[in-house]
Structure 1
Amino acid sequence: MTRPTDHDAYVAAAPEAFRPSLERLRTLLSRALPEADEIVAYDMPGFSIDGTVVASYAAFSKQCGLYVLPGAVAGHAEEIAAAGLRSTKTGITFTPRRPIPDDLVGRLAQASREEAVGAGG
Structure 2
Amino acid sequence: MTVHEVDDYLAGLAEPARSTLETLRRSILAVVPEAEQGISYGMPAFRVDGAVVAGFAAFTKHLSYLPHSGQVLADLADDLAGYERTTGSLHFPPDQPLPDALVRSLVEAKLRLLGLA
TM-score > 0.5, shorter chain as reference: yes
Aligned position for 1:92: 90
Aligned position for 1:19: 18
CA RMSD of aligned residues (A): 1.6
Work out whether residues 45 and 56 of structure 1, in 8 Å CA contact, stay in contact via their aligned partners in 2.
yes
What code does the residue aligned with 1:36 have?
A: A
Aligned position for 2:80: 80
- Matched pairs, number: 112
Work out whether residues 33 and 110 of structure 1, in 8 Å CA contact, stay in contact via their aligned partners in 2.
no
Query: How many Å separate the matches in 2 of 1:66 and 1:101?
Result: 12
Distance 1:97 1:21, change over 3 A: closer
Report the alpha carbon displacement of residue 39 of structure 1 after superposing the two structures with TM.
1.7
How much identity, in percent, do the aligned residues show? 35
Query: How many Å separate the matches in 1 of 2:95 and 2:22?
Result: 15
What code does the residue aligned with 2:102 have?
A: L
Aligned position for 2:107: 109
Identify unmatched segments of 5+ residues in structure 1: none
Identify unmatched segments of 5+ residues in structure 2: none
Q: Could you state the TM-score of these two structures normalised by the residue count of structure 1?
A: 0.84
Q: Deviations over 1:22-54 (max 9, x none)?
A: 101100001111232112110111101222211
